[in-house]
A = this chain, B = another copy of it.
Amino acid sequence: MLDILVTIDSNYLLPLRVMLKSLFLNNTGERFYIHLLYDDIESETLARLGDFVASEGHGLSAKRMDDMAFAEAPVRFHYTKAMYYRLLAFKFLPPDLDRILYLDPDILVINSLRSLYETNMDGKLYAAAYHSLVPARELNRIRLYPYEIESYYNSGVLLMNLQLQRLEIKETAIFDFVEENRAKLIMPDQDIINALYAKKIRTLDEKLYNYDVRYYRYYALTTSGACDMDFIFEHTGILHFCGKRKPWKKGYMGQFLALYKQYEKLAFRPRNG
């Protein structure tokens, strides 16, 4: 059984289901248990999602985050309480769970995640990948100074060591950090993980587990062509549709649009036969 964490609001229901479909289809033989932390989703919508997951042979439990959960948390207009779900998930997940894999909804899983899931955590709080394209890395280093950011990890794929998190992550430290750095934060949860826990993150290979689809040519170039489409479909577990443009919105272009549309179709087709 592989435990998967997702934390979304109603805007991301379509991509969530597409992501799950891709996960199931390319991990046959695995059983998944999906832990959904949510806010503001209608119960009927939630039931449909549960039916979908069950019809694929997997389990789902959904937990509504009520307003009391983060009563003390600093919140501003463009980042809401939802940003804390990922950071503090360990507080709301079953206490016997040792690890869980958090996945953003804007990804496609195209290969087995078994070895990612079994990554040796080796005393780290998280395992994550950073995107190595230099300009982005530098920008984040400057922005989050004086916090030491060697690499700016992407928090869209995050293997969590829940056991250790329960011991080491303090809600108040996070709230204090947000309070003090309000002006600087752009992607709050990602910024927090990088600023506070960078040294406690085990690095994953981005080409395997957090392939940024915007950089198809960059990956191919920097590997002298080795990281081509064949490599991706043989080795890459996770394609991540980073950035503002999303494949489920009109006008998106790119190497992986047709692939995404196919999963969209499979995720929402009527079941029969």
Do residues B261 and A258 form an inter-chain contact, with CB atoms below 8 A?
no
* Contact of A258 (CB < 8 Å), options: B26, B29, B259, B265: B259
Which residue of chain B is the closest to A259 with respect to CB atoms?
B258
Count of identical protomers in the assembly? 2
CB neighbours of A25 from chain B (8 A): 266
Would you call A272 an interface residue if the criterion is a C-beta within 8 Å of the partner chain's C-beta atoms? yes
**Residues of B contacting A259 in the complex (Cβ-Cβ under 8 angstroms):** 258-259, 262
CB of A197 closer than 8 Å to a CB of B: no
* Bound CA–CA A265/B111 (angstroms): 9
**Residue in chain B with minimal CB distance to A213:** B258
Q: Is A233 positioned at the interface, with any CB of B under 8 Å from its CB?
A: yes
Is A255 close to B, CB under 8 A?
yes
Contact at A229–B255, with CB atoms within 8 Å?
no
Find the residue from A25, A30, A259, A272 having the highest chain B CB count within 10 A: A259
* Size category of the binding interface on chain A: 20 to 34
How far does the alpha carbon of A28 sit from the alpha carbon of B271 in the complex, in Å? 8
Contact of A233 among B29, B265, B272 (CB under 8 A): B265
| Complex Cα gap A62–B269 (Å) | 32
Q: Which of A230, A232, A257, A269 has the most CB of B within 10 A?
A: A257
- How far does the alpha carbon of A258 sit from the alpha carbon of B258 in the complex, in Å? 7
Distance between A140 CB and nearest chain B CB, rounded to angstroms: 29
Q: Does A123 make an interface contact (CB < 8 A)?
A: no
Please indicate the chain B residues that have their CB under 8 angstroms from the CB of A272 in the complex: 28-29
Complex-state Cα separation, A29 to B271, whole angstroms? 9
Closest CB of chain B to A50's CB: distance in Å?
Answer: 21
CB <8 Å contact, B257 and A110: no
Query: In the complex, how many angstroms separate the beta carbon of A176 from the nearest chain B beta carbon?
Result: 44
A243 on the interface (CB 8 Å rule)?
Answer: no
- The reply to whether B233 and A273 contact each other, CB–CB distance below 8 Å, is no
- Residues in B with CB closer than 8 Å to A230 are 250, 261
| 15 residue pairs from A and B, CB less than 8 Å apart | A28-B271, A28-B272, A110-B265, A111-B265, A229-B257, A229-B261, A230-B250, A233-B258, A233-B262, A233-B264, A233-B265, A255-B255, A255-B258, A258-B259, A262-B262
Interface contacts beyond A229-B258, A233-B261, A233-B265: sample of 13 additional A-B pairs, CB < 8 Å, sorted by A: A25-B266, A29-B272, A110-B262, A229-B261, A230-B250, A230-B261, A232-B261, A233-B258, A233-B262, A255-B258, A258-B258, A258-B259, A262-B262
